């Protein structure tokens, strides 16, 4: 049944590839040449595959006759791959060229040898033909996969995806054949079912020829470095299996039982290689360098390295370790990991301008005390943006103008000096530790370190800017607080000055002396409050919010203002606000002082407090000069804007800020020459309490 199915599939594959070969041959040559390199070789490949399918259909899959024709098919496939990948990005690499020539030679020799042997022996093939042809087939399959892997990875931007699909079809066919032959070599028996299904696999590759000729899709295809590494691992495993299979075949050919010896040798080699890689960091580093050097076009996988570099710089997590929270250490770590260095030093400018060691990441002990980079060296590095190869400096091949310090030259662990520049300003210097496997710097290392240093510099510059901004904010907060204090001191000075003038005339009156003592106590208390407010540890105005009775606060303000003006105070009985009493007093004092200043002598000032619309309303009403609407809208609550000759312009601004901090606001109604009405709105204590009770009731009900 399997043989019949294989024969049917072989006939279909023969018809399909013959038809595709004729169709490709009839298409315009110019059109085909514009779509892909070497179009005629693709026609030859389809024709050779059709011939191989004919041999499989006539003699059966895995027969000596089909194995004789198969090198012709493989030779055509290799020719198309060589022409395609040669023209995609210039000359192929030397290893790929050698592999291609070797495989072509094997195909030609196998084809000639097999044809000669078959013609001499006739239909009865000689016993040695099948093993020899099978071995040659396995070698060509492995080499073809290597060529496809290298060619696809290095394919240029102009390489279209359909062309890559044809190469993928070749890889699928070779991989299937290799798998079938390996199973046969390992088991000692032909994998007849897998071999019989070879025509089916060939049929699956047929659409890729049509796809390439129609130019469907223009996406570039390139293996990632991870996929390439896994491909190499798979190829290594395949080579190992081939070696084991060949060893078994040779043992059976010469006779004797070498199974235990082969197992012992394989186990010793596996354990030795694995143990060496696990225990020795130097061995792992050497293997990484060798793979990057001989298997990849570039030393760095730029996408993966840049993602890791950026993640390291930005990984400051609240729960992370010290390395995560320290940006300077993260910069040293990111640059070290980029080049495979086990450690790094980061130097920052000191007060004198020379750079000193500020942070280190996994750098061994032994740094000299007072190790610095002189100001002259720093200027040279900043001007030239030069990345210093310390090994070249030690050999006397460096730049003498750099004046690298002796301690850095003497420490052979130091490998590279990287200036971290931000807009031609050197923010830091990073010294990288020598990798486990020392190597010379090349242009790729220099470019990567230069760009990475610039990106790290942007992080450091932003961090330094944030620190400077935070410091400026603290100064600004102190200056603003001091400005408010100066405003209040001015008011106190005016009050004490007025008290002193009245004392000259009324010092002999007992009532005046009692008022004077009370006023002095209040002024002393306010001065103490001002000192507390000047402290950087002062709590916010609304930090002590609670139920505050309004009437006692207004009465205290009336007593304080009595030397200047008698106030008319009216307050709803039991009225209380949810606010800080000292802050309420501060705001109303500002409003009352402004009302007195704006009113003519003897003109009354009224302070009225009521509950309205669920809030506390405190009105300070005067009959003074009033204000225009434009002034109220544009200038009243702006700092440092005042209509008084000696005013600071901070009273109304500070009063509004404090009121808003308590959840309230200030409303103004005024007309020129008709007086003003300043309304302070505050949260009503009863409404605040009811809201809290309602919230607690709803929370309990929800449970």
Contact in structure between 561 and 596 (CB atoms under 8 Å): yes
CA 121 to chain centre: 69
Residue range 274-294, pLDDT digits in tens: 666 566 665 655 566 566 555
Task: State residue 622's pLDDT score.
Answer: 94
Distance between CA atoms of 315 and 318, rounded to whole angstroms? 9
d(CA 526, CA 388): 64
Taking CB atoms within 8 Å and a gap of at least 24, the contacts of 470-478 are 474/536, 477/536, 478/536
Domain 542-690 falls under CATH 3.30.565.10: yes
Which positions ≥6 away from 243 have C-beta within 8 Å? none
Whole-number Cα distances in Å, 553 to 148, 385, 583, 618 = 90, 68, 10, 11
Helix or strand (DSSP H, E) at 521: helix 510-534
Q: DSSP 3-state assignment of 389?
A: strand
SS3 207: helix
Query: Where are the chain's structural domains?
Result: 2-234, 309-469, 542-690
Quote the CA–CA distance of 223 and 244 in Å, as a whole number: 29
**Which two structure tokens, joined as six digits, stand for 390?**
């310390």
| 362: region left, alpha or beta (phi > 0 left; psi from -120 to 50 alpha) | left
Q: Is 430 helix (H, G, I), strand (E, B) or coil?
A: strand
The confidence score (pLDDT) of residue 699 equals 36
Structure tokens at 559: 């007593």
Query: What letters, b where the CB count within 10 A reaches 16 and e where it falls short, cover 207-238?
Result: ebbebbbebeeeeebebebeebeebeeeeeeb
CA distance 323 to 312: 10
pLDDT of the residue at 678 = 94
Phi–psi pair at 355, nearest 5 degrees: -90, 130
Instruction: Assess whether the region 2-234 and the region 309-469 belong to the same CATH fold.
Output: no
Q: For strands 546-549 and 615-622, give the pairing.
A: unpaired
Task: Answer positive or negative: Cα dihedral of 26, 30, 33, 34.
Answer: negative
3-class SS shares of the chain: helix, strand, coil, % to 5: 65, 10, 25
Beta strands in 327-373 (DSSP E): 344-349, 355-361, 372-373
How many CB atoms within 10 Å of residue 135? 18
pTM of the model: 0.43
Sheet hosting strand 675-683, strand order edge to edge: 567-571, 605-612, 615-622, 675-683, 665-671
| pLDDT number for residue 338 | 87
Angle subtended at Cα 340 by Cα 338 and Cα 341, rounded to the nearest 5 degrees: 105
Q: 475 to each of 63, 461, 467, 472, 654, how far by Cα in Å?
A: 91, 21, 12, 5, 18
């491909």: which residue's tokens?
231
CATH superfamily of 309-469: GAF domain (3.30.450.40)
Answer yes or no: are the C-beta atoms of 409 and 390 closer than 8 Å.
yes
For 684, which DSSP code? B
Cα separation, 156 vs 90, in Å, equals: 9
Nearest to 499 by CA among 475, 482, 524, 477: 524
Fold of 2-234: Rhopdopsin 7-helix transmembrane proteins (1.20.1070)
Q: In this predicted structure, what is the pLDDT of residue 224?
A: 58
Secondary structure class of 679 (helix, strand, coil): strand
Pick from 490, 578, 492, 488: nearest CA to 533: 488
Token output for 407: 């301690």
Question: Which stretches of the chain drop beneath a pLDDT of 50?
Answer: 88-90, 123-124, 156-158, 216-221, 317-319, 537-543, 690-703
């Amino acid at each position: 049944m399997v043989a019949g199915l294989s024969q049917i599939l072989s006939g279909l594959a023969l018809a399909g590839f013959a038809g595709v070969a004729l169709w490709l041959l009839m298409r315009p040559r110019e059109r085909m040449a514009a779509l892909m390199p070497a179009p005629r070789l693709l026609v030859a490949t389809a024709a050779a595959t059709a011939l191989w399918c004919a041999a499989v259909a006539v003699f059966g899959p895995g027969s000596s006759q089909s194995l004789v024709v198969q090198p012709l098919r493989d030779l055509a496939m290799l020719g198309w791959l060589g022409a395609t990948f040669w023209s995609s990005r210039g000359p192929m690499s030397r290893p790929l060229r050698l592999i291609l020539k070797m495989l072509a030679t094997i195909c030609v020799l196998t084809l000639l040898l097999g044809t000669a042997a078959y013609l001499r022996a006739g239909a009865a093939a000689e016993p040695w033909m099948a093993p020899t042809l099978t071995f040659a087939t396995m070698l060509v399959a492995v080499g073809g996969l290597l060529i496809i892997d290298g060619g696809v990875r290095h394919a240029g931007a102009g390489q279209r995806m359909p062309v890559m699909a044809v190469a993928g079809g070749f890889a699928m066919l070779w991989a299937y054949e290799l798998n079938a032959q390996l199973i046969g070599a390992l088991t000692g028996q032909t994998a007849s079912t897998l071999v019989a299904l070879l025509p089916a696999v060939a049929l699956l590759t047929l659409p890729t020829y049509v796809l390439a000729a129609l130019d469907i899709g223009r996406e570039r295809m390139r293996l990632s470095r991870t996929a390439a590494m896994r491909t190499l691992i798979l190829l290594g495993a395949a080579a190992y299996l081939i070696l084991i299979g060949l060893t078994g075949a040779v043992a059976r050919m010469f006779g004797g039982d070498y199974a235990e010896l082969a197992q012992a040798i394989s186990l010793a080699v596996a354990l030795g290689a694995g143990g060496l890689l696990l225990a020795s960091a130097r061995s792992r580093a050497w293997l990484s360098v060798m793979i990057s050097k001989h298997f990849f076009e570039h030393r760095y996988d730029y996408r993966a390295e840049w993602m890791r570099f950026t993640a390291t710089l930005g990984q400051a997590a609240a729960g992370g370790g010290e390395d995560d929270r320290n940006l300077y250490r993260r910069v040293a770590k990111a640059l070290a990991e980029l080049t495979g260095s086990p450690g790094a030093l980061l130097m920052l400018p000191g007060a004198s301008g020379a750079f000193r060691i500020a942070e280190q990441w996994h750098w061994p002990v032994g740094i000299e005390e007072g190790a610095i980079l002189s100001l002259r060296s720093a200027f040279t590095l900043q001007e030239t943006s030069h990345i210093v190869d310390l090994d070249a400096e030690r050999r006397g091949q460096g730049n003498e103008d750099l004046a690298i310090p002796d301690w850095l030259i003497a420490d052979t662990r130091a490998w590279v000096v990287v200036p971290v520049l931000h807009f031609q300003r050197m923010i830091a210097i990073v010294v990288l530790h020598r990798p486990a496997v020392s190597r010379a710097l090349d242009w790729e290392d220099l470019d990567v370190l230069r760009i990475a240093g610039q990106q790290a510099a942007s992080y450091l510059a932003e961090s330094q800017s944030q620190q400077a901004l935070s410091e400026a904010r603290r100064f600004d907060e102190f200056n603003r607080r001091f400005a408010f204090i100066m405003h209040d001191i001015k008011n106190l000075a005016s009050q004490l000055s007025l008290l002193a003038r009245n004392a000259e005339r009324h010092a002999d009156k007992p009532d005046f002396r009692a008022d004077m003592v009370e006023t002095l106590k209040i002024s002393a208390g306010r001065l103490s409050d001002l000192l507390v407010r000047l402290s950087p540890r002062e709590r916010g105005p609304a930090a002590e919010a609670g139920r505050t009775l309004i009437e006692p606060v207004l009465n205290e303000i009336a007593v304080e203002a009595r030397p200047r003006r008698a106030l008319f105070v009216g307050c709803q009985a039991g009225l209380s606000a949810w606010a800080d009493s000292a802050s309420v007093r501060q705001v109303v004092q500002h409003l009352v002082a402004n009302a007195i200043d704006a009113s003519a002598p003897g003109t009354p000032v009224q302070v009225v407090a009521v509950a309205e619309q669920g809030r506390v309303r405190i009105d300070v009403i005067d009959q003074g000069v009033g204000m225009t609407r434009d002034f109220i809208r544009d200038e009243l609550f702006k700092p440092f804007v005042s209509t008084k000759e000696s005013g600071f312009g901070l009273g109304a601004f500070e009063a509004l800020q404090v009121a808003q901090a308590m959840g309230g606001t200030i409303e103004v109604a005024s007309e020129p020459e008709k007086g003003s009405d300043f309304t302070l709105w505050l949260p009503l204590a009863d409404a605040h309490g009811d809201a809290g009770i309602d919230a607690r009731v709803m929370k309990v009900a929800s449970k």
